[in-house]
Chains A and B, each alone.
Chain A
Amino acid sequence: MMDKNSSFLDYYGQFKAKIYNYCWYRVNFDREIAEDLTSDIFIKAFSSYGSFDQDRPFQAWIYAIARNHLINHYRKSGREVPLDDSIDFPIDSHAAKVHASIEMEKVLSVIATMDGYCRDVLLMKYVDGLDSKEIAQILGKNDGAVRTQLSRALSILKEKLEYEKH
């Protein structure tokens, strides 16, 4: 948590990777679009930084902006589903390819078939590293609902993965 007098660039340094990752996972792992979206999100945040309430967590604020911006992006591009079975696994870098396993591909494929709420909760929890409280703040839900949703999403994922094994 940064202090109240933190400059926007300090926040940017802290959250740039998370926001980039957040976008990357939601635009079919398109690096260029993720970069553009990240850039847009931070510029939008900078423009509204004067109205940002420093007593509130910056993380929740920047994620809320990112989420709204992505919704606008989907609306403009005419597509709702960012992850699709039809696309190749997006880890195009050498390192990612090394670490990517078949299991992970399966996991991602299953996540891609889940509804938006479950997918968001899972990715925020395990990719972005947010806890249920932070996810609740970003999504505008209560903590309990997020936990329940998270548990439900994991169950669905487990079931689907076991089903695919058989």
Chain B
Amino acid sequence: MKNIEEQLKNLPKAKMPLTADLKIRIMIYRLQWRKYAEKQNIFRLFSRKMAYAFASVLLLASTVSVPAFAYASPGVVKGNPFYPLKILLEKAELAIPKSNEAEAKIYEKNVSRRLAEAEILSKQTGGKTADYLVETVNQAQTDKEKASAIISGLGETKDAGLLKKIDQTEKQQEALIKQVAQNVGLEASDKVVNSVSLMISTISDKANKADKRLDSEETSPKGNVGDSKGMRNVEQRRTEATSSESMPIPDTRDEAIATQTPKSPIDLGAEKKKLDEMAKTIKQDDFPGKGADTLRAKLETRNKKTSQALDEGNLGKAEELIKESHRLMDNAKFFLKSDPAEPGGKNKKPGVSVQPNEKPKDPVERSKGTSTKETLNNKEKPKSKGHRNNN
């Protein structure tokens, strides 16, 4: 048996030829590569599918979120790539048919938006920031006038709730525009100061009237604004407040009145002389640092321009310049930058304690004993409706 086993163990064993070995190895390598390539293709397919899915989600998200962001964010200011989209959405919102009250609310909302943008722009410097700021504030002014025109056009149908809401909005707008003024300072260019000053005058005046209205509503025993009588009272008070005080820049209601009332010419020469006197009375205590000098320089420049306009017989321009000067005097205090070192904080003004929602006493008024507004009010109301309406 052992002999047989030995013979079996010695049976020939074939050696695989090298060519066959190489052939098989190459085939295995090829298969391995094909398998790897298939995996890669699967991965690519997966990636492509994922990429499509991701792109779709991104597109959907951007379609919704980008306009929403642009629309809602005050950070999207003029000069931002999304700003045109924001304006477009606002226009679309206005294009949808709605009640007058709703339209007025939208305009008021847009004013608040513009002022919030202006507040952001006022902190920035360089580039076209100043131009953007002026355009933004002017747009706010336009929207404000539109809102006022709609509200005044409502007549007896005005909703007391709407008025109250608008009054509250105006308080916020007032705070915003004053903050803008403080941020830009008196050193800002004339166009910025003029624009901001005009807006302050418009809003402050309206806000103060709103204060009075709200105060009287709170103290009134018949404070139920929901009934028609209450409505009439509110409206009456609003009309009275409007008619009893002059507005530096009359709104559309005033414009309507203005077109009906013949005006006697203002003594522009006398007004100019008063402004010259005012420029001389600007005290260093009231406008610390370079404030007094800057304000004086600005007034003097305007007065020179006014003289030139008067000499040329361009009364409209002279009148406009005088109005600008008055507004500047009225609102100069808001352009003073707060001194962090000075106790009293941000609201500390030279010789004036400015409380939120409280209109401080004018430095000029204190020095002269008369308000610049009163100075103009003693005269006939100017025919011009503001520098933008001048043409």
Binding site for B on A (CB under 8 A): 8-9, 12, 16-17, 20-21, 24, 29, 31, 34-35, 38-39, 42-43, 46-47, 91, 96, 99-100, 103-104, 107-108, 122, 125-127, 154, 157-158, 161
Are B1 and A127 in contact, with the CB atoms below 8 A? Answer: no
* A122 cross-chain contacts in B, Cβ below 8 A: 8
From B1, B10, B20, A38 is in contact (CB under 8 Å) with B20
Once bound together, how far apart are the Cα atoms of A157 and B8, in whole Å? 10
* B162 cross-chain contacts in A, Cβ below 8 A: none
- B15 interfacial by beta-carbon distance below 8 Å: yes
Once bound together, how far apart are the Cα atoms of A29 and B10, in whole Å? 16
Beyond A35-B23, A104-B12, A125-B8: 15 further Cβ-contacts under 8 Å? A12-B28, A17-B13, A29-B14, A31-B17, A38-B16, A39-B20, A42-B27, A46-B32, A99-B12, A103-B7, A126-B5, A126-B9, A127-B13, A154-B4, A158-B1
* A108 cross-chain contacts in B, Cβ below 8 A: 11
* B23 cross-chain contacts in A, Cβ below 8 A: 35, 39
* A9 cross-chain contacts in B, Cβ below 8 A: 25, 28
Are A107 and B11 in contact, with the CB atoms below 8 A? Answer: yes
Are A43 and B28 in contact, with the CB atoms below 8 A? Answer: yes
**With A12-B28, A39-B24, A42-B28 in contact, do A158 and B11 touch (Cβ < 8 Å)?**
no
Once bound together, how far apart are the Cα atoms of A35 and B23, in whole Å? 10
Residue on B nearest A158 in the bound complex, by CB: B4
From B9, B16, B32, A16 is in contact (CB under 8 Å) with B16
Are A107 and B8 in contact, with the CB atoms below 8 A? Answer: yes
Looking at B1, B10, B12, which has the most chain A CB atoms within 10 Å of its CB?
Answer: B12
- B21 interfacial by beta-carbon distance below 8 Å: yes
Once bound together, how far apart are the Cα atoms of A24 and B15, in whole Å? 10
Are B16 and A35 in contact, with the CB atoms below 8 A? Answer: yes
From B10, B14, B28, A21 is in contact (CB under 8 Å) with B14
7 nearest CB pairs, A to B: A126-B8, A35-B20, A20-B16, A24-B14, A96-B12, A39-B24, A91-B12
Are A31 and B21 in contact, with the CB atoms below 8 A? Answer: no
CB B383 to nearest CB in A, in angstroms, measures 93
Once bound together, how far apart are the Cα atoms of A107 and B24, in whole Å? 32
* B17 cross-chain contacts in A, Cβ below 8 A: 31, 35
Are B31 and A21 in contact, with the CB atoms below 8 A? Answer: no
CB A92 to nearest CB in B, in angstroms, measures 10
From B5, B11, B28, B31, A104 is in contact (CB under 8 Å) with B11
Are A104 and B1 in contact, with the CB atoms below 8 A? Answer: no
Residue on B nearest A23 in the bound complex, by CB: B14
What are 16 contact pairs spanning A and B, CB under 8 A?
A8-B28, A9-B25, A12-B28, A20-B14, A21-B14, A35-B16, A39-B20, A43-B24, A43-B31, A91-B12, A96-B14, A100-B12, A126-B8, A127-B13, A157-B4, A158-B1
Once bound together, how far apart are the Cα atoms of A12 and B257, in whole Å? 104
* B28 cross-chain contacts in A, Cβ below 8 A: 8-9, 12, 42-43, 46
Are A104 and B7 in contact, with the CB atoms below 8 A? Answer: yes
